[in-house]
Amino acid sequence: METIQEKEQITAMPRIGDEAPKFQAVTTQGNINFPDDYAGKWVILFSHPADFTPVCTSEFITFAHLEEKFDNANCKLVGLSIDGLYSHIAWLRTIREKIEFNGMKNVEVKFPLIEDITMEVAKKYGMIQPNESKTQAVRAVFFIDPSGIVRAIIYYPLSLGRNFDEIYRALIAMQTADEFDVATPADWYPGDDVIVSPAGSCGVAEERMTTTDDLDCKDWFFCTKKLDKNTVLDKILKK
């Protein structure tokens, strides 16, 4: 029976704003030293429950199909499961040679898939959720910025495949917030209005409500402004 200390170790996870836990690992693309090998780039580190499972297969095909799109946004993909390297290799080969999903076929997974038989990495990142499974990693997604800081975390249960449009949207939204010092509202996509930080003083609040500049203020605390789609993408995406 697990002790309280053992259970806490398994379910511990980094928080938003923390440094991404460091590790060295064997992957399908060679050894990596994480996150140091990715300094200066965004990284999406994601886990899946097991190789040769249908939901995971659909996700890997989708991620591999979108890898260039993420790369153009200065973002690298790194996958993980607690299966071994040879299982990973056999599974990815099967994906390339036999599996078709949503019109995607002959898909080669080129991003690294981490071998984590000991569950060392999965435990560091809180990917093992005992009430879901003690032997499989849930579908965790960690967004790690170019400075190695955890910026966002999304968790899915074993039965639920991820929404890759939302993963990409979240990446671009965070990059936009950093680049233009703004926030992004609900359902934001490049080209939509962005949110300006709330006024920090009464004087600024009054000025915002009476000025005719480029702000659209519904009230002193809720101001938006236009941010052209091409302006956003020109700053964020590779030329």
Write down the pLDDT at residue 99: 96
In a domain, 203, yes or no: yes
In a domain, 22, yes or no: yes
- Whether residues 195 and 222 share a domain: the answer is yes
- Whether residues 30 and 91 share a domain: the answer is yes
Whole domain around residue 117: which residue ranges? 4-163
Distance CA 208, CA 222 (A): 10
Helices 164-180 and 54-71: crossing angle, nearest 10°?
30
Predicted TM-score (pTM) above 0.75: yes
- Whether residues 154 and 208 share a domain: the answer is no
Domain containing residue 227: CATH number = 3.30.1020.10
Phi and psi dihedrals of 107, rounded to 5?
-85, 125
Q: Annotated active-site positions, please? A: 56
- Whether residues 143 and 63 share a domain: the answer is yes
- Whether residues 58 and 19 share a domain: the answer is yes
Place of tokens 């659209």: 216
- What residues does 152 pair with on adjacent strands? 143
Distance CA 143, CA 9 (A): 22
- What residues does 45 pair with on adjacent strands? 78, 142
Write out the DSSP string of 33-61. Answer: EETGGGTTSEEEEEE-S-TT-HHHHHHHH
- Whether residues 115 and 38 share a domain: the answer is yes
- Whether residues 127 and 203 share a domain: the answer is no
Last residue of a domain, which of 103, 132, 163?
163
In a domain, 174, yes or no: no
Residue set of the binding site for substrate: 139
In a domain, 175, yes or no: no
Write down the pLDDT at residue 89: 97
In a domain, 173, yes or no: no
Last residue of a domain, which of 117, 134, 163?
163
- Whether residues 33 and 149 share a domain: the answer is yes
Domain count, the chain: 2
- Whether residues 17 and 45 share a domain: the answer is yes
Distance CA 216, CA 11 (A): 44
Last residue of a domain, which of 163, 190, 215?
163
Local structure of residue 74 (DSSP, 8 states): T
| Tokens coding 108 | 């080669």
Residue set of the binding site: 139
- Whether residues 106 and 219 share a domain: the answer is no
Distance CA 141, CA 154 (A): 5
- Whether residues 26 and 63 share a domain: the answer is yes
Which ranges constitute the DSSP H helices of 76-210?
A: 85-98, 120-124, 164-180, 202-210
In a domain, 172, yes or no: no
- Whether residues 90 and 186 share a domain: the answer is no
- Each of the 239 residues of the chain gets a pLDDT tens digit; together they read 455 454 445 456 899 999 999 999 999 999 999 999 999 999 999 999 889 999 999 999 999 999 999 999 999 999 998 899 999 999 999 999 999 999 999 999 999 999 999 989 988 998 888 777 766 778 899 999 999 999 999 999 888 999 999 999 999 999 999 999 999 999 999 999 999 876 555 555 556 666 656 888 888 788 899 999 999 999 999 75
In a domain, 169, yes or no: no
Domain containing residue 44: CATH number = 3.40.30.10
Instruction: Tell me, rounded to whole angstroms, the distance of Cα 151 from its chain centroid.
Output: 9
